[in-house]
Structure 1
Amino acid sequence: MKKIIVFAMALMLVACSNSSDSSKASDDKVSIVTTSFIGYDIATQVAGDKATVDNILPWGSELHDFEPTAKNMTAVNEADLFIYLSVDLESWVESSSENDNALNLSKSYTLEEHEHEDEEVEEDEHDHASLHFWSDPTTYIQLIEATEERLTSIDPDNKEYYEERAEAYIDEIEALHEEFNEYTHSLTDPTIYFSGHSAMDAFAERYHLTITSLSDEYRPDADLTAQQIETLTNEIESSGSHYLFTEELVEPRVAKQIQSSLKEKNYELTILELHSYHNISKEQSEEGITYADLLRQNIDNIKQALGN
Protein backbone atom coordinates (compact mmCIF):
# COMPACT_ATOMS: atom_id res chain seq x y z
CA MET A 1 0.00 0.00 0.00
CA LYS A 2 2.81 2.37 0.88
CA LYS A 3 4.46 1.65 -2.48
CA ILE A 4 1.22 2.55 -4.28
CA ILE A 5 0.93 5.85 -2.39
CA VAL A 6 4.56 6.76 -3.08
CA PHE A 7 4.12 5.93 -6.78
CA ALA A 8 0.96 8.04 -6.99
CA MET A 9 2.69 10.98 -5.35
CA ALA A 10 5.57 10.67 -7.80
CA LEU A 11 3.15 10.77 -10.71
CA MET A 12 1.54 13.92 -9.28
CA LEU A 13 4.92 15.61 -8.96
CA VAL A 14 5.80 14.77 -12.56
CA ALA A 15 2.42 16.09 -13.72
CA CYS A 16 2.88 19.33 -11.79
CA SER A 17 6.39 19.71 -13.19
CA ASN A 18 5.17 19.19 -16.76
CA SER A 19 2.32 21.65 -16.19
CA SER A 20 4.77 24.25 -14.89
CA ASP A 21 7.08 23.76 -17.89
CA SER A 22 4.14 24.06 -20.29
CA SER A 23 2.94 27.26 -18.61
CA LYS A 24 6.39 28.78 -18.86
CA ALA A 25 6.61 27.90 -22.54
CA SER A 26 3.22 29.50 -23.24
CA ASP A 27 4.35 32.65 -21.42
CA ASP A 28 7.49 33.02 -23.55
CA LYS A 29 7.34 36.12 -25.72
CA VAL A 30 9.21 37.16 -28.83
CA SER A 31 12.04 39.51 -27.86
CA ILE A 32 12.40 42.54 -30.14
CA VAL A 33 15.08 45.22 -30.04
CA THR A 34 14.65 48.42 -32.08
CA THR A 35 16.92 51.39 -32.77
CA SER A 36 14.31 54.10 -33.22
CA PHE A 37 10.79 55.25 -32.53
CA ILE A 38 9.85 54.06 -36.02
CA GLY A 39 10.86 50.46 -35.39
CA TYR A 40 9.46 50.57 -31.86
CA ASP A 41 6.10 51.90 -33.01
CA ILE A 42 5.68 49.27 -35.71
CA ALA A 43 6.82 46.42 -33.46
CA THR A 44 4.53 47.34 -30.57
CA GLN A 45 1.53 47.92 -32.83
CA VAL A 46 1.93 44.60 -34.64
CA ALA A 47 3.24 42.38 -31.84
CA GLY A 48 0.95 43.62 -29.09
CA ASP A 49 1.23 41.49 -25.96
CA LYS A 50 2.98 38.65 -27.77
CA ALA A 51 6.40 40.32 -27.58
CA THR A 52 8.67 42.43 -25.43
CA VAL A 53 9.96 45.46 -27.33
CA ASP A 54 13.05 47.33 -26.19
CA ASN A 55 13.94 50.56 -27.97
CA ILE A 56 17.63 51.16 -27.22
CA LEU A 57 17.47 54.79 -28.38
CA PRO A 58 16.64 56.79 -25.22
CA TRP A 59 13.40 58.72 -25.44
CA GLY A 60 13.91 62.38 -26.25
CA SER A 61 17.44 61.90 -27.60
CA GLU A 62 18.84 62.63 -31.05
CA LEU A 63 18.77 59.67 -33.44
CA HIS A 64 21.81 60.74 -35.46
CA ASP A 65 24.11 61.02 -32.44
CA PHE A 66 23.32 57.70 -30.77
CA GLU A 67 26.17 55.39 -29.78
CA PRO A 68 25.27 51.97 -28.32
CA THR A 69 26.72 50.54 -25.13
CA ALA A 70 28.10 47.03 -24.76
CA LYS A 71 24.84 46.11 -23.03
CA ASN A 72 22.88 47.45 -26.00
CA MET A 73 24.90 45.33 -28.42
CA THR A 74 24.37 42.22 -26.32
CA ALA A 75 20.61 42.85 -26.41
CA VAL A 76 20.77 43.38 -30.19
CA ASN A 77 22.56 40.10 -30.81
CA GLU A 78 20.44 38.03 -28.43
CA ALA A 79 17.02 39.32 -29.56
CA ASP A 80 14.67 37.19 -31.66
CA LEU A 81 14.19 40.21 -33.91
CA PHE A 82 16.40 43.28 -34.37
CA ILE A 83 14.76 46.15 -36.30
CA TYR A 84 16.92 49.01 -37.55
CA LEU A 85 16.47 51.88 -40.03
CA SER A 86 19.56 51.73 -42.24
CA VAL A 87 23.34 51.48 -42.12
CA ASP A 88 23.49 54.96 -43.70
CA LEU A 89 21.70 56.51 -40.73
CA GLU A 90 22.99 54.14 -38.07
CA SER A 91 26.53 53.20 -39.04
CA TRP A 92 27.00 51.42 -35.70
CA VAL A 93 24.57 48.64 -36.74
CA GLU A 94 26.85 47.42 -39.52
CA SER A 95 28.40 44.68 -37.41
CA SER A 96 24.94 43.25 -36.67
CA SER A 97 23.18 44.13 -39.91
CA GLU A 98 23.75 40.71 -41.49
CA ASN A 99 22.62 38.71 -38.47
CA ASP A 100 19.75 36.28 -39.04
CA ASN A 101 17.62 38.24 -36.58
CA ALA A 102 18.08 41.62 -38.34
CA LEU A 103 15.38 43.48 -40.29
CA ASN A 104 16.63 46.44 -42.33
CA LEU A 105 13.65 48.75 -42.80
CA SER A 106 15.35 50.71 -45.60
CA LYS A 107 15.35 47.50 -47.66
CA SER A 108 11.76 46.59 -46.81
CA TYR A 109 9.82 48.72 -49.28
CA THR A 110 9.58 49.92 -52.86
CA LEU A 111 8.46 53.42 -53.78
CA GLU A 112 4.79 53.44 -54.75
CA GLU A 113 3.69 55.05 -57.99
CA HIS A 114 2.33 58.56 -57.85
CA GLU A 115 1.87 61.46 -60.21
CA HIS A 116 3.97 64.58 -59.96
CA GLU A 117 3.77 67.56 -62.27
CA ASP A 118 1.84 65.53 -64.88
CA GLU A 119 4.55 62.85 -64.94
CA GLU A 120 4.07 59.41 -63.49
CA VAL A 121 6.81 58.27 -61.15
CA GLU A 122 7.33 54.55 -61.65
CA GLU A 123 7.85 52.13 -58.83
CA ASP A 124 11.54 51.54 -58.33
CA GLU A 125 14.15 50.37 -55.91
CA HIS A 126 14.56 53.63 -53.96
CA ASP A 127 15.81 55.91 -56.79
CA HIS A 128 13.67 58.64 -55.25
CA ALA A 129 13.95 57.49 -51.68
CA SER A 130 15.55 59.54 -48.96
CA LEU A 131 17.33 58.86 -45.73
CA HIS A 132 14.03 59.61 -44.03
CA PHE A 133 11.92 57.20 -46.10
CA TRP A 134 9.48 56.51 -43.27
CA SER A 135 7.95 60.00 -43.49
CA ASP A 136 5.96 58.79 -46.53
CA PRO A 137 2.92 56.96 -45.05
CA THR A 138 2.65 54.63 -48.07
CA THR A 139 6.18 53.48 -47.28
CA TYR A 140 5.37 53.13 -43.60
CA ILE A 141 2.54 50.77 -44.48
CA GLN A 142 5.04 48.53 -46.27
CA LEU A 143 7.31 48.60 -43.23
CA ILE A 144 4.39 47.36 -41.12
CA GLU A 145 3.79 44.54 -43.59
CA ALA A 146 7.46 43.55 -43.60
CA THR A 147 7.54 43.45 -39.80
CA GLU A 148 4.38 41.38 -39.64
CA GLU A 149 5.82 38.86 -42.11
CA ARG A 150 9.02 38.53 -40.11
CA LEU A 151 7.15 38.13 -36.82
CA THR A 152 4.99 35.44 -38.36
CA SER A 153 8.07 33.54 -39.51
CA ILE A 154 9.49 33.72 -35.97
CA ASP A 155 6.23 32.93 -34.19
CA PRO A 156 3.85 31.15 -36.62
CA ASP A 157 1.50 30.12 -33.81
CA ASN A 158 0.37 33.75 -33.53
CA LYS A 159 0.12 34.41 -37.26
CA GLU A 160 -3.53 35.50 -37.24
CA TYR A 161 -2.97 37.76 -34.24
CA TYR A 162 -0.12 39.60 -35.98
CA GLU A 163 -2.04 39.84 -39.24
CA GLU A 164 -5.11 41.33 -37.58
CA ARG A 165 -3.13 43.93 -35.66
CA ALA A 166 -1.08 44.88 -38.72
CA GLU A 167 -4.21 45.22 -40.82
CA ALA A 168 -5.92 47.43 -38.23
CA TYR A 169 -2.91 49.76 -38.00
CA ILE A 170 -2.52 49.90 -41.78
CA ASP A 171 -6.20 50.81 -42.12
CA GLU A 172 -5.73 53.71 -39.69
CA ILE A 173 -2.73 55.11 -41.56
CA GLU A 174 -4.27 54.44 -44.97
CA ALA A 175 -7.36 56.48 -44.06
CA LEU A 176 -5.21 59.45 -43.01
CA HIS A 177 -3.11 59.16 -46.16
CA GLU A 178 -6.06 59.05 -48.54
CA GLU A 179 -7.77 62.02 -46.89
CA PHE A 180 -4.62 64.17 -46.93
CA ASN A 181 -3.64 63.09 -50.44
CA GLU A 182 -7.02 64.22 -51.75
CA TYR A 183 -6.68 67.50 -49.85
CA THR A 184 -3.21 68.41 -51.14
CA HIS A 185 -4.11 67.48 -54.72
CA SER A 186 -6.96 69.98 -54.55
CA LEU A 187 -4.47 72.81 -53.92
CA THR A 188 -2.20 74.69 -56.29
CA ASP A 189 1.44 74.58 -55.20
CA PRO A 190 0.88 74.20 -51.42
CA THR A 191 3.91 75.61 -49.61
CA ILE A 192 4.91 75.70 -45.96
CA TYR A 193 7.99 77.14 -44.23
CA PHE A 194 10.24 75.18 -41.92
CA SER A 195 12.88 76.53 -39.55
CA GLY A 196 14.73 73.26 -39.08
CA HIS A 197 16.76 70.75 -41.07
CA SER A 198 15.26 69.08 -44.10
CA ALA A 199 13.99 65.65 -43.06
CA MET A 200 10.55 65.42 -44.67
CA ASP A 201 11.44 65.18 -48.35
CA ALA A 202 9.72 61.80 -48.81
CA PHE A 203 6.58 63.21 -47.18
CA ALA A 204 6.71 66.36 -49.33
CA GLU A 205 7.22 64.34 -52.51
CA ARG A 206 4.30 62.06 -51.73
CA TYR A 207 1.86 64.94 -51.25
CA HIS A 208 3.30 67.39 -53.82
CA LEU A 209 4.01 69.77 -50.97
CA THR A 210 6.78 72.36 -51.06
CA ILE A 211 8.64 72.65 -47.75
CA THR A 212 10.89 75.68 -47.82
CA SER A 213 13.46 75.12 -45.10
CA LEU A 214 16.46 76.85 -43.63
CA SER A 215 18.87 74.05 -44.41
CA ASP A 216 19.16 71.05 -46.71
CA GLU A 217 21.38 69.32 -44.17
CA TYR A 218 19.63 66.45 -42.40
CA ARG A 219 21.47 67.00 -39.14
CA PRO A 220 19.65 69.26 -36.66
CA ASP A 221 22.95 70.80 -35.53
CA ALA A 222 23.88 71.96 -39.05
CA ASP A 223 25.40 75.44 -39.00
CA LEU A 224 23.02 78.20 -40.07
CA THR A 225 24.07 81.58 -41.36
CA ALA A 226 22.46 84.94 -40.73
CA GLN A 227 21.84 85.15 -44.47
CA GLN A 228 19.87 81.88 -44.47
CA ILE A 229 17.69 83.13 -41.63
CA GLU A 230 17.13 86.50 -43.31
CA THR A 231 16.27 84.82 -46.61
CA LEU A 232 13.66 82.57 -45.01
CA THR A 233 12.21 85.52 -43.07
CA ASN A 234 11.80 87.50 -46.29
CA GLU A 235 10.25 84.54 -48.11
CA ILE A 236 7.67 84.07 -45.38
CA GLU A 237 6.74 87.74 -45.41
CA SER A 238 6.57 87.88 -49.21
CA SER A 239 4.33 84.81 -49.36
CA GLY A 240 1.86 86.21 -46.87
CA SER A 241 2.07 83.08 -44.76
CA HIS A 242 1.65 83.52 -41.02
CA TYR A 243 2.91 80.09 -40.00
CA LEU A 244 6.38 78.68 -39.47
CA PHE A 245 7.09 75.05 -38.69
CA THR A 246 9.77 73.74 -36.38
CA GLU A 247 11.05 70.25 -35.66
CA GLU A 248 10.34 68.11 -32.62
CA LEU A 249 12.37 67.80 -29.42
CA VAL A 250 14.46 70.94 -29.94
CA GLU A 251 14.15 74.46 -28.62
CA PRO A 252 12.73 76.50 -31.55
CA ARG A 253 15.36 79.19 -31.13
CA VAL A 254 15.58 80.19 -34.80
CA ALA A 255 11.82 80.07 -35.26
CA LYS A 256 11.38 82.42 -32.32
CA GLN A 257 14.08 84.70 -33.73
CA ILE A 258 12.19 84.93 -37.04
CA GLN A 259 8.91 85.40 -35.18
CA SER A 260 10.41 88.26 -33.14
CA SER A 261 11.91 89.88 -36.24
CA LEU A 262 8.58 89.89 -38.04
CA LYS A 263 6.69 91.07 -34.98
CA GLU A 264 8.74 94.28 -35.11
CA LYS A 265 7.04 94.86 -38.46
CA ASN A 266 3.62 94.08 -36.93
CA TYR A 267 3.63 90.79 -38.83
CA GLU A 268 2.22 87.99 -36.69
CA LEU A 269 3.75 84.53 -37.04
CA THR A 270 2.51 81.32 -35.40
CA ILE A 271 4.97 78.50 -34.72
CA LEU A 272 3.76 74.95 -35.35
CA GLU A 273 5.47 71.57 -35.11
CA LEU A 274 6.18 69.36 -38.12
CA HIS A 275 7.14 66.03 -36.61
CA SER A 276 9.60 63.90 -38.59
CA TYR A 277 9.16 60.82 -36.35
CA HIS A 278 12.85 60.53 -35.40
CA ASN A 279 11.97 60.16 -31.74
CA ILE A 280 9.41 61.11 -29.12
CA SER A 281 9.71 62.35 -25.56
CA LYS A 282 9.58 60.10 -22.52
CA GLU A 283 6.19 61.59 -21.66
CA GLN A 284 4.86 60.79 -25.13
CA SER A 285 6.14 57.23 -24.86
CA GLU A 286 4.24 56.84 -21.58
CA GLU A 287 1.12 58.20 -23.26
CA GLY A 288 1.46 55.62 -26.03
CA ILE A 289 1.83 58.15 -28.86
CA THR A 290 2.00 56.43 -32.25
CA TYR A 291 3.15 57.29 -35.76
CA ALA A 292 -0.52 57.58 -36.72
CA ASP A 293 -1.06 60.13 -33.94
CA LEU A 294 1.88 62.21 -35.16
CA LEU A 295 0.77 61.94 -38.79
CA ARG A 296 -2.67 63.22 -37.78
CA GLN A 297 -1.03 66.09 -35.88
CA ASN A 298 1.10 66.98 -38.91
CA ILE A 299 -1.93 66.95 -41.19
CA ASP A 300 -3.94 69.17 -38.85
CA ASN A 301 -1.06 71.65 -38.49
CA ILE A 302 -0.42 71.82 -42.23
CA LYS A 303 -4.10 72.42 -42.92
CA GLN A 304 -4.07 75.22 -40.37
CA ALA A 305 -1.04 76.80 -42.04
CA LEU A 306 -2.61 76.54 -45.49
CA GLY A 307 -5.81 78.13 -44.27
CA ASN A 308 -8.08 75.10 -44.37
Structure 2
Amino acid sequence: MDNFFTLLLILALISIWYFIRKKPNKKYKNVSIIVAIISFFVVGLINQSNGDDKASSKGIKTEKTSSKNSKQSSDKKRESSSKKKSSNKQKESSSKKKPSNKQKESSSKNKNLDEVKLGMTKDEVIKKFGKPSYQTSRNLLYGKKNIYLVDGKVTGGNYDALQKQVDKKNTKKKKEAKKDRIKNDKKKYLAALYALPEQTDYVIQDAQYSEQTGVTFVVSDDALSLTPAELKSAVHKIWNIGQNLSNKYSPLPGDMKSTYITVEDSSGNDLAVTSMWGSFKYKAN
Protein backbone atom coordinates (compact mmCIF):
# COMPACT_ATOMS: atom_id res chain seq x y z
CA MET A 1 0.00 0.00 0.00
CA ASP A 2 2.82 2.32 0.91
CA ASN A 3 4.55 1.70 -2.42
CA PHE A 4 1.37 2.39 -4.38
CA PHE A 5 0.82 5.84 -2.94
CA THR A 6 4.53 6.64 -3.23
CA LEU A 7 4.37 5.76 -6.95
CA LEU A 8 1.16 7.77 -7.29
CA LEU A 9 2.88 10.78 -5.69
CA ILE A 10 5.81 10.56 -8.11
CA LEU A 11 3.45 10.32 -11.12
CA ALA A 12 1.44 13.30 -9.89
CA LEU A 13 4.59 15.42 -9.58
CA ILE A 14 5.68 14.44 -13.09
CA SER A 15 2.17 15.34 -14.39
CA ILE A 16 2.38 18.77 -12.76
CA TRP A 17 5.67 19.42 -14.51
CA TYR A 18 4.29 18.05 -17.82
CA PHE A 19 1.10 20.15 -17.80
CA ILE A 20 3.08 23.29 -16.90
CA ARG A 21 6.11 22.98 -19.20
CA LYS A 22 5.44 20.54 -22.06
CA LYS A 23 1.71 20.74 -22.67
CA PRO A 24 0.14 23.49 -20.57
CA ASN A 25 -3.31 22.50 -19.34
CA LYS A 26 -4.71 24.29 -16.32
CA LYS A 27 -7.40 21.68 -15.55
CA TYR A 28 -5.07 18.68 -15.63
CA LYS A 29 -2.45 20.63 -13.74
CA ASN A 30 -4.87 21.33 -10.86
CA VAL A 31 -5.99 17.68 -10.76
CA SER A 32 -2.37 16.55 -10.62
CA ILE A 33 -1.66 18.96 -7.70
CA ILE A 34 -4.67 17.60 -5.73
CA VAL A 35 -3.57 13.98 -6.33
CA ALA A 36 0.00 14.86 -5.25
CA ILE A 37 -1.19 16.48 -2.00
CA ILE A 38 -3.46 13.51 -1.10
CA SER A 39 -0.69 11.01 -1.91
CA PHE A 40 1.81 12.97 0.21
CA PHE A 41 -0.43 12.91 3.31
CA VAL A 42 -1.32 9.22 2.88
CA VAL A 43 2.35 8.24 2.59
CA GLY A 44 3.12 10.29 5.71
CA LEU A 45 0.38 8.59 7.77
CA ILE A 46 1.52 5.11 6.66
CA ASN A 47 5.15 5.86 7.60
CA GLN A 48 4.08 7.21 11.01
CA SER A 49 2.05 4.08 11.84
CA ASN A 50 4.96 1.86 10.79
CA GLY A 51 7.33 3.85 12.99
CA ASP A 52 5.04 3.47 16.04
CA ASP A 53 4.92 -0.30 15.53
CA LYS A 54 8.71 -0.51 15.35
CA ALA A 55 9.12 1.69 18.44
CA SER A 56 6.72 -0.52 20.46
CA SER A 57 8.61 -3.67 19.46
CA LYS A 58 11.93 -2.00 20.40
CA GLY A 59 10.43 -0.93 23.75
CA ILE A 60 9.58 -4.52 24.62
CA LYS A 61 13.14 -5.60 23.81
CA THR A 62 14.71 -2.76 25.81
CA GLU A 63 12.53 -3.58 28.84
CA LYS A 64 13.87 -7.13 28.81
CA THR A 65 17.48 -6.03 28.47
CA SER A 66 17.08 -3.29 31.11
CA SER A 67 15.72 -5.79 33.62
CA LYS A 68 18.82 -7.94 33.04
CA ASN A 69 21.12 -4.91 33.32
CA SER A 70 19.43 -3.75 36.55
CA LYS A 71 20.05 -7.13 38.14
CA GLN A 72 23.69 -7.07 37.08
CA SER A 73 24.19 -3.47 38.29
CA SER A 74 22.61 -4.25 41.68
CA ASP A 75 25.03 -7.15 42.10
CA LYS A 76 27.96 -4.90 41.18
CA LYS A 77 26.79 -2.21 43.64
CA ARG A 78 26.71 -4.74 46.45
CA GLU A 79 30.25 -5.84 45.66
CA SER A 80 31.57 -2.24 45.42
CA SER A 81 29.87 -1.21 48.67
CA SER A 82 31.47 -4.10 50.52
CA LYS A 83 34.88 -3.13 49.08
CA LYS A 84 34.37 0.53 50.11
CA LYS A 85 33.52 -0.49 53.66
CA SER A 86 36.67 -2.53 53.96
CA SER A 87 38.83 0.30 52.50
CA ASN A 88 37.23 2.86 54.84
CA LYS A 89 38.07 0.66 57.80
CA GLN A 90 41.68 0.50 56.66
CA LYS A 91 41.82 4.32 56.28
CA GLU A 92 40.34 4.84 59.74
CA SER A 93 42.87 2.51 61.29
CA SER A 94 45.74 4.28 59.49
CA SER A 95 44.46 7.75 60.45
CA LYS A 96 44.36 6.73 64.10
CA LYS A 97 48.13 6.23 64.05
CA LYS A 98 49.82 8.83 66.21
CA PRO A 99 52.25 11.25 64.50
CA SER A 100 55.90 10.84 65.31
CA ASN A 101 57.74 13.22 67.62
CA LYS A 102 59.61 14.72 64.65
CA GLN A 103 56.32 15.51 62.85
CA LYS A 104 54.91 17.19 65.96
CA GLU A 105 58.07 19.22 66.40
CA SER A 106 58.20 20.40 62.76
CA SER A 107 54.50 21.32 62.67
CA SER A 108 54.75 23.35 65.88
CA LYS A 109 57.80 25.19 64.51
CA ASN A 110 56.03 26.00 61.23
CA LYS A 111 53.10 27.50 63.13
CA ASN A 112 55.47 29.98 64.81
CA LEU A 113 56.90 31.42 61.55
CA ASP A 114 55.19 34.70 62.44
CA GLU A 115 58.04 35.13 64.94
CA VAL A 116 60.66 35.35 62.19
CA LYS A 117 62.35 38.76 62.41
CA LEU A 118 63.98 40.86 59.73
CA GLY A 119 67.76 40.55 59.89
CA MET A 120 67.80 36.99 61.21
CA THR A 121 70.38 34.78 59.50
CA LYS A 122 69.45 31.73 57.46
CA ASP A 123 71.00 29.40 60.07
CA GLU A 124 69.09 31.09 62.90
CA VAL A 125 65.77 30.57 61.10
CA ILE A 126 66.45 26.88 60.39
CA LYS A 127 67.67 26.26 63.95
CA LYS A 128 64.59 27.87 65.50
CA PHE A 129 61.85 26.85 63.07
CA GLY A 130 63.10 23.59 61.58
CA LYS A 131 64.29 22.47 58.18
CA PRO A 132 62.35 24.07 55.29
CA SER A 133 60.63 22.04 52.60
CA TYR A 134 62.78 23.85 50.01
CA GLN A 135 65.68 26.28 50.25
CA THR A 136 68.07 28.30 48.10
CA SER A 137 70.52 31.10 48.82
CA ARG A 138 67.62 33.54 48.39
CA ASN A 139 64.61 31.61 49.77
CA LEU A 140 63.41 29.44 52.62
CA LEU A 141 60.10 27.74 51.82
CA TYR A 142 57.90 26.40 54.65
CA GLY A 143 54.76 25.07 52.95
CA LYS A 144 53.22 28.11 51.28
CA LYS A 145 55.21 30.60 53.35
CA ASN A 146 58.27 31.94 51.56
CA ILE A 147 61.02 33.78 53.44
CA TYR A 148 63.26 36.05 51.34
CA LEU A 149 67.01 36.24 51.95
CA VAL A 150 69.70 38.70 50.86
CA ASP A 151 73.32 37.95 51.82
CA GLY A 152 72.07 35.19 54.11
CA LYS A 153 69.71 37.44 56.12
CA VAL A 154 65.91 37.73 56.21
CA THR A 155 64.66 40.75 54.24
CA GLY A 156 60.96 39.88 53.84
CA GLY A 157 58.39 37.22 53.01
CA ASN A 158 55.14 36.49 51.22
CA TYR A 159 52.99 36.36 54.37
CA ASP A 160 51.44 39.06 56.56
CA ALA A 161 53.68 38.89 59.63
CA LEU A 162 56.89 39.55 57.69
CA GLN A 163 55.25 41.97 55.25
CA LYS A 164 54.07 44.14 58.15
CA GLN A 165 57.65 44.31 59.43
CA VAL A 166 58.84 45.36 55.96
CA ASP A 167 56.11 48.04 55.69
CA LYS A 168 56.97 49.38 59.15
CA LYS A 169 60.67 49.53 58.28
CA ASN A 170 59.96 51.33 54.98
CA THR A 171 57.69 53.85 56.71
CA LYS A 172 60.38 54.58 59.29
CA LYS A 173 62.98 55.02 56.53
CA LYS A 174 60.73 57.47 54.68
CA LYS A 175 60.17 59.54 57.82
CA GLU A 176 63.89 59.64 58.59
CA ALA A 177 64.69 60.53 54.97
CA LYS A 178 62.14 63.36 55.09
CA LYS A 179 63.64 64.72 58.31
CA ASP A 180 67.13 64.61 56.83
CA ARG A 181 65.94 66.35 53.66
CA ILE A 182 64.23 69.10 55.66
CA LYS A 183 67.37 69.62 57.77
CA ASN A 184 69.51 69.89 54.66
CA ASP A 185 67.03 72.28 53.05
CA LYS A 186 67.13 74.45 56.19
CA LYS A 187 70.94 74.66 55.97
CA LYS A 188 70.78 75.51 52.27
CA TYR A 189 68.06 78.10 52.88
CA LEU A 190 70.00 79.91 55.61
CA ALA A 191 73.19 79.85 53.52
CA ALA A 192 71.32 81.39 50.58
CA LEU A 193 69.68 83.96 52.88
CA TYR A 194 72.96 85.15 54.38
CA ALA A 195 74.49 85.43 50.89
CA LEU A 196 71.87 87.96 49.69
CA PRO A 197 73.67 91.18 50.74
CA GLU A 198 76.68 90.34 48.58
CA GLN A 199 74.47 89.16 45.69
CA THR A 200 72.48 92.45 45.72
CA ASP A 201 75.62 94.64 45.91
CA TYR A 202 74.58 95.46 49.47
CA VAL A 203 71.30 97.08 48.52
CA ILE A 204 70.24 94.60 51.15
CA GLN A 205 72.69 95.73 53.81
CA ASP A 206 71.97 92.78 56.11
CA ALA A 207 69.81 89.61 56.12
CA GLN A 208 69.02 87.79 59.34
CA TYR A 209 66.77 85.00 60.54
CA SER A 210 65.24 84.59 63.98
CA GLU A 211 62.91 81.86 65.26
CA GLN A 212 60.86 84.58 66.99
CA THR A 213 60.58 87.24 64.28
CA GLY A 214 61.36 85.35 61.06
CA VAL A 215 63.38 86.99 58.26
CA THR A 216 64.63 90.56 58.56
CA PHE A 217 66.16 92.57 55.70
CA VAL A 218 67.98 95.85 56.41
CA VAL A 219 67.95 98.25 53.44
CA SER A 220 71.02 100.39 52.78
CA ASP A 221 70.78 104.09 53.61
CA ASP A 222 71.28 104.98 49.93
CA ALA A 223 67.85 103.56 49.15
CA LEU A 224 66.24 106.08 51.50
CA SER A 225 67.20 108.91 49.11
CA LEU A 226 64.86 107.49 46.47
CA THR A 227 61.48 109.00 45.73
CA PRO A 228 58.56 107.49 47.71
CA ALA A 229 57.38 105.56 44.65
CA GLU A 230 60.89 104.28 43.90
CA LEU A 231 61.45 103.34 47.53
CA LYS A 232 58.20 101.39 47.67
CA SER A 233 59.13 99.53 44.48
CA ALA A 234 62.62 98.71 45.82
CA VAL A 235 61.27 97.52 49.17
CA HIS A 236 58.68 95.35 47.39
CA LYS A 237 61.43 93.72 45.29
CA ILE A 238 63.43 92.96 48.44
CA TRP A 239 60.33 91.43 50.08
CA ASN A 240 59.75 89.29 46.98
CA ILE A 241 63.36 88.03 47.12
CA GLY A 242 62.73 86.73 50.63
CA GLN A 243 59.37 85.18 49.64
CA ASN A 244 60.82 83.40 46.59
CA LEU A 245 63.73 82.06 48.63
CA SER A 246 61.34 80.56 51.17
CA ASN A 247 59.25 78.94 48.42
CA LYS A 248 62.37 77.50 46.76
CA TYR A 249 63.37 75.47 49.82
CA SER A 250 59.85 74.60 50.99
CA PRO A 251 58.89 72.57 52.95
CA LEU A 252 61.09 73.84 55.76
CA PRO A 253 60.76 72.74 59.40
CA GLY A 254 57.35 73.63 60.80
CA ASP A 255 58.80 75.87 63.51
CA MET A 256 60.57 78.11 60.96
CA LYS A 257 58.87 81.45 60.28
CA SER A 258 60.60 81.84 56.94
CA THR A 259 57.50 83.24 55.26
CA TYR A 260 57.21 86.17 57.70
CA ILE A 261 59.43 88.90 56.28
CA THR A 262 60.27 92.34 57.65
CA VAL A 263 62.05 95.02 55.62
CA GLU A 264 63.49 97.89 57.72
CA ASP A 265 65.98 100.72 57.53
CA SER A 266 69.26 100.87 59.41
CA SER A 267 67.53 102.63 62.31
CA GLY A 268 65.12 99.72 62.80
CA ASN A 269 62.04 101.42 61.34
CA ASP A 270 59.71 99.07 59.47
CA LEU A 271 59.37 99.76 55.78
CA ALA A 272 57.31 96.67 54.93
CA VAL A 273 56.09 93.46 56.58
CA THR A 274 54.16 90.31 55.67
CA SER A 275 50.47 90.81 56.39
CA MET A 276 48.33 88.32 58.30
CA TRP A 277 47.10 87.02 54.87
CA GLY A 278 50.69 86.44 53.69
CA SER A 279 50.86 89.41 51.30
CA PHE A 280 53.13 92.45 51.02
CA LYS A 281 52.22 95.33 53.35
CA TYR A 282 54.06 98.64 52.88
CA LYS A 283 54.47 100.75 56.04
CA ALA A 284 56.76 103.64 55.02
CA ASN A 285 53.96 106.01 53.93
User: Normalising by the residue count of structure 1, what TM-score does the alignment of the two structures yield?
Assistant: 0.19
Work out which structure has the larger RCO, using CA pairs closer than 8 Å and 6 or more positions apart in sequence: 1
Q: TM-score, normalised by structure 2?
A: 0.20
More helix by percentage = 2
